[in-house]
């Protein structure tokens, strides 16, 4: 049963750290009991009576505890057996919560645990750990089990060298675990309170030690990937003498700088592994196209992977525009390709000549062979797992890798999420963009909104209306596309209103997007399928229904679909006043007040924790059990430095395997 709950050996049990602590460190005189607080009392029990609770049939035990300072009533509900246990005890410790007796001023102790004063196993006069339950085991029974495991600490060798710990002010692993399971009780009452608070807040050096070990293991795994990559020889793609790829616009300074960084990597001997980060609409695609151009000119193949068919098709269109008239007409490979077209594309790829293929996950299927793969581009990296990225890379010998993300990852977390990649940032938008203005409107005032939408559409704008769901579902309070479509059509007479969502087949979806681009459809009622891959400069209004259903980064991504052309653009968050909680209101206010994707991602991190932040899950960073980000950021930084210094002394592998010996759940990255 313990194994089912992740505890398969004594070491696992020692790493099962308390969730909170009970301060039973000092006896509280009955004269200073306070309602609502738990207290340790010492005295003798008398006048034990067993009764029935009115109307409930369950037993209740009443008694009195006599202490040197006075007497206090005690009551146990539903535990009549306790009367028998109390019988022969001369003196006991009780630990329980103080409550007012129904409708009176009398304080009584409710459901206290009982411990004879002369018992061998003592929880009284300690700071007592409370563990997360393991199946049927919890409370005192689990404490006792962990207690039995504690002597095994003596056999746990510390994998982290002492000088490293000393420099960081961290305790040894034995000491850290002992403190967490059996904190020493300080003499001074103030120090006792401070210790309990620090333990509960997970701020003790012992907590930091476990957090550090986890982050060290993670940083070590990431470093391992870098090192393995550096030992491989990449296809050299200097593209000497190649003409410039003609572009329909001037690159921004940021695009030029990043394109140069990539060009340098491509002409080197080691495979590039670079993350290209740039806010929505900053123009990453063309930078990838320039990289592809060099690789094609050097005689190698390029695979460009996007997370959705919609986006793959969009890229295929864009690249076909750029590469039209070159020998490298881009190919498209998605799941919805017809059999003969698919055969044709696979044949071209397998023949090994230089070519550019854009596709979805379909690219990583076994049937796809890319013998001369020189460059892998992964767009919207956060939508893919590390494993998928790797499957594509492994189709070549040691291709260059360019991963692109528009979902900004907080600076604080980039180290974890993309620690194995070099970073390039496009921090500038193409000229002529107008900032999108964002407003929050309540549904009861939506009438005015729809007349604004109608006017905007008649003047040549295009409108997105985004819903969290395709169809309404029982028990989920969120608006849905299909439920609202008839109503929207009625409110927007004379306009072409169409739905777009993931349950439509690929052809239908493509036709809808095309019509929206061309203006035949003016209002697109969609789910988040439009989050990536719809690049329509006329789109100037986005109405988002039930916006509290989306994370801030996702809202940001959605909002990035508008404001791509010269029209002034509006993002309208349509909220239901009653359903909107205070937290959601604050979140939406953050979103309204800034268009800085990084700030929004940081705010997401603070509000929702790292598990929600794009890009982290694949690294197992949301599976961190002891480390907390961003709180433990300093330790993350330290762990990277320690990894570097251990690696330079050849000690890294030993330390990592030592850590692996007792850490669980942090090894995800190691599988890369």
**At closest approach, how far in Å is the CB of 406 from ligand ADP?**
5
Burial class (CB in 10 A: 0-12, 13-18, 19+), 590: middle
Closest CA to 98 of 107, 89, 106, 90: 107
Beta carbon of residue 609, minimum distance to ligand ADP (angstroms, whole number): 26
CA distances from 102 to 48, 52, 105, 108 (A): 20, 16, 8, 10
Please enumerate in sequence order all residues whose Cβ is within 8 A of that of 91, keeping only pairs 6 or more positions apart, or say none. 42, 43, 44, 116, 117, 118
- Pick 129 or 283: Cβ nearer ligand ADP: 283
Q: For residues 265 and 379, which CB has a smaller minimum distance to ligand ADP in the complex? A: 379
CB 646 within 8 A of CB 665: no
Max Cα–Cα distance, the chain, nearest Å: 100
Cα-only R_g, the chain = 32
Residue 38 or residue 245: which is nearer to ligand ADP going by CB?
Answer: 245
Angle at 229 between CA 225 and CA 235, to 5 degrees: 155
370 to 409: interface string for ligand ADP, x by CB under 6 A: ------------------------------------x---
Which of 113, 407 has the CB closer to ligand ADP?
407
- Closer residue to ligand ADP (CB): 214 or 535: 535
Strands (E), 137-286: 273-278
Class of residue 104 by CB neighbours under 10 A (exposed 0-12, middle 13-18, buried 19+): exposed
DSSP category for residue 52: E
User: Rule CB under 6 A: is residue 419 a binding residue for ligand ADP?
Assistant: no
Which of 249, 451, 581, 671 binds ligand ADP (CB under 6 A)? It is: 249
**430 lies in the binding site for ligand ADP (CB under 6 A):** yes
Stretch of residues binding ligand ADP (CB under 6 A), selected from 70-78, 183-191, 246-254, 498-506: 246-254
Which range in 73-81, 247-255, 417-425, 580-588 contacts ligand ADP by CB under 6 A?
Answer: 247-255
User: Tokens at residue 518, please?
Assistant: 């061309």
Q: H helices within 492-632, ranges in order?
A: 506-518, 552-559, 582-593, 597-608
Residue 422 CB, shortest distance to ligand ADP, in Å, is 18
Using the minimum distance from each CB to ligand ADP, give the nearer residue, 281 or 620.
281
Strand duo 126-130 + 20-24: pairing: antiparallel
> x/- binding map, residues 147-176, to ligand ADP, per CB under 6 A?
------------------------------
Q: Which of residues 257-316 bind ligand ADP (CB under 6 A)?
A: 278, 280-286
DSSP 159-182: -S-HHHHHHHT---HHHHHHHHHS
Q: Nearer Cβ to ligand ADP, position 274 or 587? A: 274
In the complex, least distance from residue 207 CB atom to ligand ADP, rounded to whole angstroms: 40
Q: Compute the least distance from the CB of residue 280 to ligand ADP, in Å.
A: 5
Angstrom distance (rounded) from CA 558 to CA 515 = 20
At closest approach, how far in Å is the CB of 258 from ligand ADP?
Answer: 11
Non-local (6+) Cβ contacts of 103 within 8 A are none
- Whether the CB-CB separation of 614 and 407 falls below 8 Å is answered with yes
CB of 432 to ligand ADP, least distance (A): 7
Question: What is the closest distance, in whole angstroms, from the C-beta atom of residue 538 to ligand ADP in the complex?
Answer: 12
Which pair of structure tokens corresponds to residue 508?
Answer: 């239908």
Nearer to ligand ADP, 353 or 430 (CB): 430
Interaction with ligand ADP in 536-575: which residues (CB under 6 A)? 564
Q: Does 251 bind ligand ADP (CB under 6 A)?
A: yes
In angstroms, what is the minimal distance from the CB of 404 to ligand ADP? Answer: 7
DSSP state of 406: -
**Rounded to 5, what percent of the chain is helix, strand, coil?**
40, 20, 40
Q: Where are the beta strands (DSSP E) in 245-306?
A: 273-278, 301-305
Q: How many residues bind ligand ADP (CB under 6 A)?
A: 17
For the CB of residue 310, give the shortest distance to ligand ADP in the complex, in Å: 13
Q: How far is the CB of 618 from ligand ADP (least distance, A)?
A: 20
Segment lying near ligand ADP (by CB under 6 A), choices 80-88, 214-222, 249-257, 417-425? 249-257
In terms of CB distance, is 12 or 428 closer to ligand ADP?
Answer: 428
| Closer to ligand ADP by Cβ: residue 335 or 537 | 537
Q: Of 557 and 618, which has the nearer Cβ to ligand ADP?
A: 557
Whole-angstrom distance, CA of residue 424 vs CA of residue 147: 51
Which CB atom, from 367 or from 423, has the smaller least distance to ligand ADP?
Answer: 423
Residue 595 as a binder of ligand ADP (CB under 6 A): the answer is: no
Residue sitting closest to ligand ADP (CB): 283
Using CB under 6 A, list all residues that contact ligand ADP: 249-252, 255, 278, 280-286, 406, 430, 535, 564
């Amino acid at each position: 049963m313990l194994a089912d709950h992740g505890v398969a050996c004594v070491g696992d049990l020692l790493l099962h750290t308390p969730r909170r602590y009970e301060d039973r460190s000092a006896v509280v005189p009955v004269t200073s009991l306070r309602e609502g607080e738990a207290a340790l009392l010492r005295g003798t029990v008398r006048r034990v009576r067993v009764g029935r609770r009115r109307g409930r049939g369950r037993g209740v035990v009443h008694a009195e505890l006599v202490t040197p300072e006075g007497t206090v009533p005690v009551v146990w509900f539903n535990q009549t057996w306790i009367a028998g246990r109390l019988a022969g005890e001369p003196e006991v410790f009780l630990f329980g919560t103080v409550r007012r007796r129904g409708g009176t001023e009398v304080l009584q102790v409710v459901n206290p645990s009982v411990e004879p004063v002369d018992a061998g196993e003592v929880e009284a006069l300690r700071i007592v750990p409370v563990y997360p339950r393991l199946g049927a085991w919890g409370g005192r029974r689990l404490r006792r089990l962990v207690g039995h495991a504690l002597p095994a600490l003596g056999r746990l060798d510390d994998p982290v060298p002492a000088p490293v710990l000393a420099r960081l002010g961290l305790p040894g692993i034995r000491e850290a675990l002992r403190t967490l399971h059996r904190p020493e009780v300080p003499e001074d009452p103030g120090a006792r309170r401070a210790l309990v608070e620090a333990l509960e807040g997970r701020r003790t050096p012992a907590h930091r030690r476990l957090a550090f070990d986890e982050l060290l293991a993670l940083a070590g795994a990431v470093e391992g990937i870098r090192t393995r990559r550096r030992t491989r020889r990449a296809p050299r793609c200097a593209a000497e003498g190649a003409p410039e790829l003609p572009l329909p616009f001037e690159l921004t300074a940021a695009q030029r700088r990043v394109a140069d960084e990539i060009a340098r990597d491509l002409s080197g001997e080691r495979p590039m592994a670079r993350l290209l980060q740039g806010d929505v609409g900053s123009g990453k695609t063309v930078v990838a196209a320039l990289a592809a151009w060099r690789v094609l000119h050097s005689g190698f193949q390029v695979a460009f992977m996007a997370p959705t068919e919609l986006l793959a098709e969009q890229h295929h269109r864009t690249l076909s525009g750029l590469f039209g008239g070159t020998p490298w007409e881009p190919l498209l490979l998605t799941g919805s390709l017809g059999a003969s077209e698919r055969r044709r594309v696979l044949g071209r790829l397998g023949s090994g000549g230089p070519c550019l293929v854009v596709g979805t996950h379909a690219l990583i299927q076994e049937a796809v062979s890319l013998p001369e793969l020189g460059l892998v581009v992964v767009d919207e990296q956060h939508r893919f797992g590390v494993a998928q990225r790797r499957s594509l890379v492994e189709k070549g010998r040691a291709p260059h890798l360019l991963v692109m993300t528009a979902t900004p990852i907080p600076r604080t977390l980039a180290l974890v999420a993309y620690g194995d990649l070099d970073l390039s940032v496009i921090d500038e938008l193409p000229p002529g963009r107008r900032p999108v203005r964002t407003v929050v409107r309540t549904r009861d005032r939506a009438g005015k909104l729809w007349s604004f939408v109608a006017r905007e559409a008649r003047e040549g704008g295009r409108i997105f209306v985004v819903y969290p769901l395709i169809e309404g579902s029982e028990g989920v309070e969120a608006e849905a596309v299909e439920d609202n479509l008839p109503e929207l059509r009625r409110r927007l007479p004379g306009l072409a209103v169409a739905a777009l969502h993931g349950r439509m087949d690929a052809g239908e979806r493509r036709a809808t997007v095309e019509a929206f681009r061309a203006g035949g459809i003016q209002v697109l009622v969609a789910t988040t399928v439009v989050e990536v891959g719809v690049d329509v400069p006329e789109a100037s209004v986005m109405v988002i229904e039930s916006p509290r259903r989306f994370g801030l980064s996702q809202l940001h991504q959605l909002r990035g679909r508008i404001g791509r052309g010269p029209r002034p653009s509006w993002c309208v968050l349509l909220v239901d006043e009653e359903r909107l909680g205070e937290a959601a209101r604050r979140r939406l206010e953050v979103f309204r007040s800034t268009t800085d994707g990084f700030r929004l991602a940081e705010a997401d991190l603070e509000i929702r924790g790292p598990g929600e932040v794009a890009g982290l899950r694949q690294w197992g960073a949301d599976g961190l059990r002891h480390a907390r980000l961003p709180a433990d950021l300093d330790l993350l930084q330290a762990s990277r430095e320690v990894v570097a210094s251990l690696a330079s002394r050849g000690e890294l592998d030993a330390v990592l395997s030592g850590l692996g010996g007792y850490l669980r759940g942090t090894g995800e990255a190691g599988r890369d």
